[in-house]
Every structure is written in C-alpha cells, then in structure tokens.
Amino acid sequence: MQSHELLREIIRDGNAKQLAADTNLSLSMIYKWAEPPSDESGSGSANPLDRVEQLVRSTGDARPVQWICERAGGFFIRNPKTTHAHPDYLIPATNEILQEFADMLAVIAESASDNHINKTEAKAIRGRWEELKSVTETFVQCCENGNFAPLKEPGALGLGRK
C-alpha cells in the first residue's frame, strides 16, 4: 500500500477537518496527502509518512520509526535478511534467547531487591525488555521463513549490547 492510499483511508474513516485543526494545516493540504504524488501523475504533496521514510533512508537511522512506534504504544523490529541456509545454528540461537531472558530477569530481580524500582532501574528493565523482544522477533521470523542464515553470524540476534 502506498502512503497516500493509507492516508486516504485514514481520512475517510476519520475527521479531516479535525486533523487539519490538530496539525495547524489547511484542509486542502490534508486532502493533498491522500493523492498520488505529482511524480506519479497526481497532484499530491509529500506527506508525513513519505517524509519519515525519506529521513530513515537518508540517514540510515531507524530511531525515528522506533520513536513513532513507542508513541503509538508499540515497538519497531527490523526484519532479518532473507537468505537461505541450513538450521545448524538453531539450538545455539535458542540458548542465546534463553540467556537474554535470564539476563532480563536478573535486571528485574536486582531492581526489585529493595521492594522499590526507581526510574533508572525501570529504564534498565525497559531496555532489556526491548532487546529481548527484538532478539526473539528476529528468531521467530527466521523460523517462519525457514531462513536461518541470519543466525550464522556472530551477534546476529543482537546480543552482547548490554
């Protein structure tokens, strides 16, 4: 789906006037976002989705996407590379995920040892949780795709960034 198509659906299902007011933009600009860009024989304008994509592509930094995902109550997981290989690394990868989970539990146990978790400790727990989710998602996608090549490389699951 193209960004303007998604925005067209969002505008159709929502309230374009409210969106214009909330973003301090004209109603015509909001509707232009829902049109194909001018380089695709449309009269649309570069929309926020396209601009975020350009930012990530230009910088090679996915943190803006992670930030948006966090603001929306979720998280961003990068898809693994898709080359095919024999699953020789399945058991070690499984063990690494279990170790990552154990490390997260250790951070939780240490933080909660005084029956109080402060903001710094909460941030450390969140960091370990985000890393565990990312590592596990990479592993699950490898399983779903029958593609275990990403598990062959050292640190392929992103471990060791503690």
Q: What is the pLDDT of residue 30?
A: 92
Count Cβ atoms below 10 Å from residue 36 Cβ, excluding itself: 15
Q: Does residue 28 contact residue 11 with C-beta atoms inside 8 Å? A: no
Mean local confidence (pLDDT), 147-159: 65
Q: What is the pLDDT of residue 29?
A: 92
Phi/psi for 143 (5° steps) reads -65, -45
Distance set, CA 25 to CA 33, 53, 98 (Å): 11, 21, 49
Mean local confidence (pLDDT), 20-47: 83
User: Has residue 162 got a pLDDT over 50?
Assistant: no
Mean local confidence (pLDDT), 103-110: 92
User: Has residue 67 got a pLDDT over 90?
Assistant: yes
User: Has residue 19 got a pLDDT over 60?
Assistant: yes
Q: What is d(CA 52, CA 58) in angstroms, rounded to the nearest whole number?
A: 10
Between 6-10, 23-27, 150-154, the lowest mean confidence (pLDDT) is in 150-154
Q: What is the pLDDT of residue 48?
A: 93
User: Has residue 105 got a pLDDT over 70?
Assistant: yes
Q: Does residue 148 contact residue 87 with C-beta atoms inside 8 Å? A: yes
Alpha helices in 72-155 (DSSP H): 90-112, 119-145
Place of tokens 């449309």: 42
Mean local confidence (pLDDT), 143-152: 75
Mean local confidence (pLDDT), 129-142: 84
Q: What is the pLDDT of residue 142?
A: 80
Distance set, CA 158 to CA 52, 132, 141 (Å): 25, 9, 14
pLDDT cut 90: percent of the chain above it: 44
Burial class (CB in 10 A: 0-12, 13-18, 19+), 141: middle
Q: What is d(CA 160, CA 35) in angstroms, rounded to the nearest whole number?
A: 45
Q: Does residue 77 contact residue 133 with C-beta atoms inside 8 Å? A: yes
Between 16-25, 26-35, 101-110, 144-153, the lowest mean confidence (pLDDT) is in 144-153
Q: What is the pLDDT of residue 43?
A: 62
Question: For the whole model, what pTM was predicted?
Answer: 0.52
Q: Does residue 159 contact residue 128 with C-beta atoms inside 8 Å? A: no
